[in-house]
Amino acid sequence: MSIPLVIGYGNTLRRDDGAGIRAAELVRERLAGVDVLTVHELQPDLAETVAARDTVMFLDASTGAETLLCVRIDPDSQDEPVRSHSLTPPQLLALCRILFGRAPGDAYLVGIPADDFAFGESLSMRTASFLDSCVALVDGLARQVSPL
């Protein structure tokens, strides 16, 4: 059983778009027993790292969401062809399967409510208020699949 991987992604220079990265940084600070990556966007070069894991959690800003969202995803849930630049989480899982013959058995997309995408490095108060809940959700998912 591999250590769960958390990938926070987004643009920290566009306020709430950086919520996934900010949440992942808090996961790194507060939780043992998980590995954390932060990236600007999901790129094909992540496929090898993701394919080697049993569990992966993607943290991202979610426009229009009223509350923290958590959706289980799999390679078959992607509905667009895999492109050569940025990918959605299901597309990255599909690429894992194509290139390495496997994808994580447990994969989740955690959407953090976000509204403000203006230039700036701080999160809006509303989005920031969901970060602790996001860390708790990641902790719960990690304990479910790999007791810490």
What average pLDDT does the structure give for the chain?
92
The CA-CA-CA angle for residues 124, 126, 140, to 5°, reads 115
The span from the first CA to the last CA of the chain, in angstroms, equals 12
Q: Is the pTM of this model over 0.85?
A: yes
Rounded Cα–Cα distance for residues 17 and 127 (Å): 10
| The total number of residues written for the chain in this structure | 148
Q: Reply yes or no on whether the pLDDT at 121 is more than 80.
A: yes
CA distance 26 to 128: 12
Tell me the pLDDT tens digit for each residue of 19-74. Answer: 999 999 999 999 999 999 999 999 999 999 999 999 999 999 999 889 999 999 98
Domain range enclosing 69? 5-145
CB 73 within 8 A of CB 109: yes
Nearest to 138 by CA among 31, 46, 37: 31
Which pLDDT score is estimated for 40? 96
CATH value at residue 49 = 3.40.50.1450
Q: How many domains does the chain have?
A: 1
d(CA 55, CA 143): 11
Three-class DSSP labels, 60-115: EEEECCCCCEEEECCHHHCCCCCCCCCCCHHHHHHHHHHHHCCCCCEEEEEEEEEC
Do 51 and 94 contact (CB within 8 A), yes or no? no
Cβ pair 23, 135 in contact under 8 A: yes
